[in-house]
Chain A
């Protein structure tokens, strides 16, 4: 079973990389661009048949290692 995990910085945490990407895109002429936030994306495969069980495991992976909950939010989706 395959899941995607998207990790993004929390709303009130400064994202200097996203800011630089935004400025560069604006310099490239993307004039309607208003904001860019940069994050991380994982594809995770687990050997479980039960979707709920598998999702719980992926959630635990996020909490234990993939995400720093002080500064980051995350979202798990089945793919």
Chain B
């Protein structure tokens, strides 16, 4: 599997993702945002960080960068695209994923491990997880409060496009375990064709039990053919 990690000024999880991808035997290339061609990729990762210092809105400037046009083309041709944290924000700004990530409800940057539940495990990104599996996974963001219109929320539910939801340690999805005010505790969503996943939690930080746990491993191994 060939992967590409797109790097913007201000990306800071790009190398962590690259380490995770290499560990999972991906052949990875880093792609600077000014490039106008993507290497042949089965998977494109838009990593976390603070692209362009979050100027204007998180992800707004990166969402209009040169390489993004190629990402949009590739995504429309069915290439797998994974946006993590700022990457998720960028994907919503490009329109590849619907909705928007608002400022956290408590106005605080949140960096801690939370529990999320795997809602749909029948996708290319999540097939190595069990349905309703609970993952302990790191979040680190200021704008993770997912919001969308009623029609799209209905579509997310009806078409099984919600990937992960914030929950307690037993898997109960409650408002009190919603760290950022996200609509229906949503932590990650797919597009209609399920070849694009945007998520606020950081699976790349959970691939080594020495420093965290292995709860992110299955996301990357799911993608391997």
Contacts and interface: CB of A to CB of B under 8 A. Distances in A.
A57 B181 CA distance: 36
Nearest to A66: B56
A68 B93 contact: yes
A17 interface: yes
A17 B60 CA distance: 19
Interface residues of B, number: 17
A39 to B, nearest CB: 12
Q: Looking at chain A, what size class is its interface with the partner chain?
A: 10 to 19
B107 A71 contact: no
Interface string A24-62: 000000000000000000000000000000000000000
Given A65-B56, A65-B60, A66-B56, A71 B103 contact: no
Main SS of chain B's interface residues? loop
A17 B103 contact: yes
B171 interface: no
Contacts, number: 30
A13 B147 contact: yes
B153 to A, nearest CB: 12
A76 to B, nearest CB: 17
A70 B97 CA distance: 12
Contact of B107 (A16, A64, A65, A66): A16
B147 A68 contact: no
A20 B100 contact: no
Contact of A13 (B57, B60, B93, B102): B102
B148 interface: yes
A16 B105 contact: yes
B214 interface: no
Contacts of A68: 57, 60, 93, 100
Contacts of A70: 99-100, 147-149
Contacts of B64: 64-65
Interface of B: 56-57, 60, 64, 93, 99-100, 102-107, 147-149, 181
Given A14-B181, A65-B64, 7 more contacts: A13-B102, A13-B147, A17-B107, A66-B56, A70-B99, A70-B100, A71-B100
